[in-house]
Chains A and B, each alone.
Chain A
């Protein structure tokens, strides 16, 4: 039993006899605690009549309900507690919920002809060896009351949340502090998170109709207060807290206080699907028919030929364990139908794996977010209508995910320039005119700091683990007018890291007149990036391995990189000097032309030999430096530093 706003007056009673002898708590009533919240739910959702409080202990809510006009009936296996209830003028019965067989019949006998407004299970089911049997018996009771033509009661529960942040943060540090009472009461036999509450009550046909959870910023598990993971304002605490906040809204929930009604008909499909998701999430039943990859393809639905080409690339994938969701964002009449016709023109084995969905919104991020909710695969990839991929595109993602499951998978991409055909280019039809071969766009290796400095990774070369979406509600930031892809990659890389395939597998076809069309892009881009950075600044960042050295260099610290820079510059200067001396020496009169100056000519030739030797030596030293592992490994960092320093060469290079 959790201690919350209502502190126990006394934690003792003889309790009942039996194999599991559990002390009965005597908690005071408080409107701020779970009892007060439960009473409010009764008032809000129950029909007038009897309130059956099972596992009532000393009936903390008894008088409150009675005074509010409810007919209170308490039930507990602790005879002393029941005697106390009765002595206070309340109806009480000895009921052992641990012996659930025949519970529905026993309760029906107690109820007799009376109308039942609510059944309460307040901080009790976590103490039962088989709480689900009790829920099933209550479902039977509800069904039998309904069968008699009586109103089915509302079930009101209070269940402690073992995923409260305090408890969860300490568990990361390996602590599991069982206490005499509270969230980790030593007598708790079954532990609950919201997912489990939903799943188990849903399985018995109980559908939530209201909630009034008890929120506690600091639970009884907030100790020791100087535990490193509980230090407010500390990076670890704040980072864990930010992560948890994105996962679900329950990190401050101490008790789930909720009201349920029994579904008299069969469980609806969406409920079943929620249950299936839960089972999948907890590994009970791996999702049947879940593909490895969901591909989100945006289209306006007005260029069927281009869509057909992109779909052809997907139909040609060697790794066939994928589904395609065509996201039609154009609002032109018939655009969805056009896309469906394109899909239907493909062979059945592929077309059956493609869905066409209309999505709303002006921005790419809105379309893709809609797609993320529709995706079913373990990973999600993005391929717009104007993009093409090689046959190993999906396969490389799968290989990367096999090596590093859960990481962001990154391949390389090329960009080629295209233009729309001119009116006199009749042979082209609606096809674009290709102007260049694909040029690799993204760097060979991904580094977080280089990405932060603006190095792009196109969406078509990425596969996002859908666990980020299902576990942390990850999505594109629809507030951004630009750089939404940059933001997504950055946030994903910060959370799960990046696994690289090193293969060029996608081709973006970029209109040749991009510069003219997007003259205002840099400004929008800079504004968006500033917004992204401001958002990231709100939480601590978890940087990948190797970041300390990289940050040290970035902040201007002396390092091996600086020494190499200096060494290279010296070698380059030496080489230039030697080459120029060599040129001058060679320009002088040659042997045979000035016979009487032979001695001087011999000297010059020796000088040329010497200079050539030095030039070769300097070249060799420079080449060795440039080929060194260190030099290659630090290339992205150097370009980033150059960028920050405003080096014009680096800017041109982008």
Chain B
């Protein structure tokens, strides 16, 4: 039974009020958790990739003081780390996780909840996620609102090919044994990669519909979320790297052809970066090379559907 829970988020700029809302929602969810589970010690860890000034600056003292006050009222401590550099999401989460477990605890005692800073947890969200981390479940993933992610999950078991880093929970011991996120992924795809490596270990990745989390996405008139420039670039680079790790040259080729015909300038930049890494031999190792798994296992875990890294429901 986990006795400690650590909610980690990595920020790079963005509005302070939004982060405060997120922290407040964690405080409220923590209150629910404390009354109904074995968890007695809760921490919110914020990794700050911000610079010294400008819109991407680190959090200011008063904002931190307010966050700390809100959390303390709910019995939650704050662990704030200014990285002094933009580490990217995965590396930032790794650095934060390396500060755990706290004194007197083992990695088995602690659950990590990895959250985006532009989220707001429903009050029962943490309770539901923690409850799902039983049995063979390696990662429990929250359901996003108002825009639900379209990837497949089994309504009977919740089993899903991968968990979104928007909000996921897993044991610190598992995270550490996997070596955390793959540093080659800067902003996108690291969650898919972590999920697949979790499944190579024989654990399930589970979608938990009752653990709802608000994710601040803008809706386009096509019903799809509006992607920012960073997302456009890094999501494409991540697609190519995931296909590479899975040794799906057909997928890599498909995407490169697509980019050639329909890609945006940023997606073309992502293709150029991928090809540079490929040429210089600095792409992350394939799953077979890195984990020693069989081609059959790779084929079973890493499923692509129309170029995406999972079948979509709609």
Interface residues of A (CB under 8 A from B): 305, 308-309, 312-313, 315-316, 318, 320, 342, 345-347, 349-350, 388-392, 412, 414, 416, 421-422, 424-431, 433-440, 444, 503-505, 507
Of the listed stretches B13-21, B51-59, B108-116, B169-177, chain A binds B13-21
Q: Using known A-B contacts A346-B28, A427-B208, determine if residue A315 contacts B219 with beta carbons closer than 8 Å.
A: no
List the A side residues contacting B206 at CB < 8 Å.
427
Given contacts A347-B28, A507-B219, contact A431 B212 (CB under 8 A): yes
> Within the complex, which residue of A316, A390, A425, A505 is in contact with B156, where a contact is CB–CB below 8 Å?
A425
Q: Which residues of B (5-48) have their CB < 8 Å from a CB of A?
A: 15, 17-18, 21, 24-25, 27-28, 31-32
Interface residue? B259 (CB, 8 A): no
Q: Given A349-B24, A427-B209, A421–B120 Cβ distance below 8 Å?
A: no
A640 CA to B124 CA in the complex, in Å? 47
* The residue from B21, B150, B207, B224 contacting A427, defined by CB atoms under 8 A apart: B207
| Structural contact, A438 and B214, CB atoms closer than 8 A | no
Q: Is residue B221 within 8 Å, beta carbon to beta carbon, of the partner chain? A: yes
CB neighbors of A among B197-213 (8 A) = 206-210, 212
- A388 to B146 alpha-carbon distance, docked (Å): 6
Any chain A CB within 8 A of the CB of B147?
A: yes
Residues of B within 8 Å of A504, CB to CB, are: 219-221, 223
- Given contacts A320-B17, A427-B157, A434-B313, 13 further A-B pairs with CB under 8 A are A308-B123, A315-B25, A316-B120, A345-B31, A345-B32, A347-B27, A422-B155, A428-B209, A429-B209, A433-B155, A437-B150, A439-B223, A507-B219
Contact A431 B210 (CB under 8 A): yes
User: Would A318 and B155 count as touching, CB distance under 8 A?
Assistant: no
Q: Does B122 contact A (CB under 8 A)?
A: yes
Say yes or no: is B288 at the interface (Cβ < 8 Å to chain A). no
A440 CB to nearest B CB, Å:
5
Complexed CA–CA distance, A430 and B314 (Å)? 21
B24: A residues at CB distance < 8 A: 347, 349-350
Report chain A residues within 8 Å CB of B153. Answer: 427
- Chain B residues, CB < 8 A from A435: 313-314
Known: A421-B155, A427-B156, A428-B155. A312 touches B120 (CB 8 A): yes
Residues of chain B with a CB closer than 8 A to A312's CB: 25, 120-122, 145, 212, 214
| 8 A/B residue pairs, CB under 8 Å, sorted by A | A308-B212, A390-B147, A414-B219, A430-B210, A431-B210, A434-B313, A438-B219, A504-B223
Of A345, A433, A436, most B-chain CB atoms within 10 Å: A345
Residue of A nearest to B21 (CB): A316
Q: Indicate whether B308 reaches chain A with its CB closer than 8 angstroms.
A: no
Chain A residues within an 8 Å CB radius of B214: 312-313, 315-316, 391
Contact, CB under 8 Å: B155 / A345:
no
State the Cβ distance, B146 to closest chain A Cβ, in Å. 4
Q: Give the docked Cα–Cα distance between A504 and B150 (Å).
A: 19
Considering the complex, give the chain A residue whose CB is closest to the CB of B123: A345
CB pair B155–A427 under 8 Å, yes or no, is: yes
Q: Is the CB of B124 within 8 A of A308?
A: yes
A437 touches B28 (CB 8 A): no
- Alpha-carbon gap, A414 to B219, bound state (A): 9
10 nearest interchain CB pairs?
A388-B146, A427-B158, A425-B155, A345-B123, A431-B209, A347-B24, A429-B210, A316-B120, A504-B219, A437-B223
Chain A residue nearest in CB terms to B153: A427
- Whether B156 pairs with A318 at a CB distance below 8 angstroms is no
Q: Count residues of B near A (Cβ-Cβ below 8 Å).
A: 46
Q: Quick check: A412 and B224 within 8 Å, CB to CB?
A: no
Would B157 and A392 count as touching, CB distance under 8 A?
no
Q: In the assembly, what is the distance between CA of A507 and CA of B144, in Å?
A: 13
Q: How far is the CA of A414 from the CA of B148 in the complex (A)?
A: 13
* CA–CA, A434 and B210, complex, Å: 13
Residue in chain B with minimal CB distance to A440? B221
User: A316 vs B22: C-alpha distance in the bound complex, in angstroms?
Assistant: 8
Q: How far is the CA of A468 from the CA of B16 in the complex (A)?
A: 36
In Å, the complex CA distance between A312 and B120 comes to 7
User: A100 to B313, alpha carbons, bound, how many Å?
Assistant: 81
Complex contacts, A444 vs chain B, CB 8 Å: 221
Determine the chain B residues whose CB is within 8 A of the CB of A431 once the complex forms: 143, 209-210, 212
In the assembled complex, which residues on chain B have CB atoms less than 8 Å from the CB atom of A318?
15, 17-18
Residues of A within 8 A of B222 (CB): 440
B60 within 8 A of A: no
Question: Is there an interface contact between A390 and B219, defined as CB atoms closer than 8 Å?
Answer: yes
Q: Is the CB of A505 within 8 A of B219?
A: yes
Measured in the bound complex, the distance between the Cα atoms of B209 and A597 in whole Å is: 72
Interface string of B118-136 (1 = CB under 8 A from A): 0011111000000000000
Residues of B near A414 (CB, < 8 A) are: 219, 223
In the complex, whether B70 has a CB less than 8 A from a CB of chain A is yes
Q: Is the pair A345, B28 in contact by a Cβ cutoff of 8 Å?
A: yes
Complex CA–CA separation, A414 to B207 (angstroms): 24
Instruction: Note all chain A residues with C-beta closer than 8 A to B150.
Output: 437
Closest chain A residue to B206, Cβ basis: A427
Chain B residues positioned under 8 Å from A424 (CB to CB): 156
Residues A426 and B146 in contact, CB atoms below 8 Å apart: no
Query: Does B21 contact A315, Cβ atoms closer than 8 Å?
Result: yes
Contacts of B70 in A (CB 8 A): 347
B232 within 8 A of A: no
Docked-complex contact A313 and B155, CB < 8 angstroms: no
Residues of chain B from 147 to 186 with CB closer than 8 A to chain A in the complex: 147-148, 150, 153-158
B216 within 8 A of A: yes
Residues of B within 8 A of A392 (CB): 218
B20 (CB) vs chain A CBs: closest residue: A349
- Asked if B221 and A412 sit within 8 Å, CB to CB, the answer is yes
Q: How far is the CA of A440 from the CA of B223 in the complex (A)?
A: 7
CB distance from B163 to the nearest CB of A (A): 14
B217 at the interface (CB under 8 A from A): yes
Q: Is A390's CB under 8 angstroms from B218's CB?
A: yes
User: Chain B residues with Cβ under 8 A from A305's Cβ?
Assistant: 124, 210, 212
- On whether the beta carbons of A437 and B216 are closer than 8 Å, the reply is no
State whether B120 touches A437 (Cβ < 8 A): no
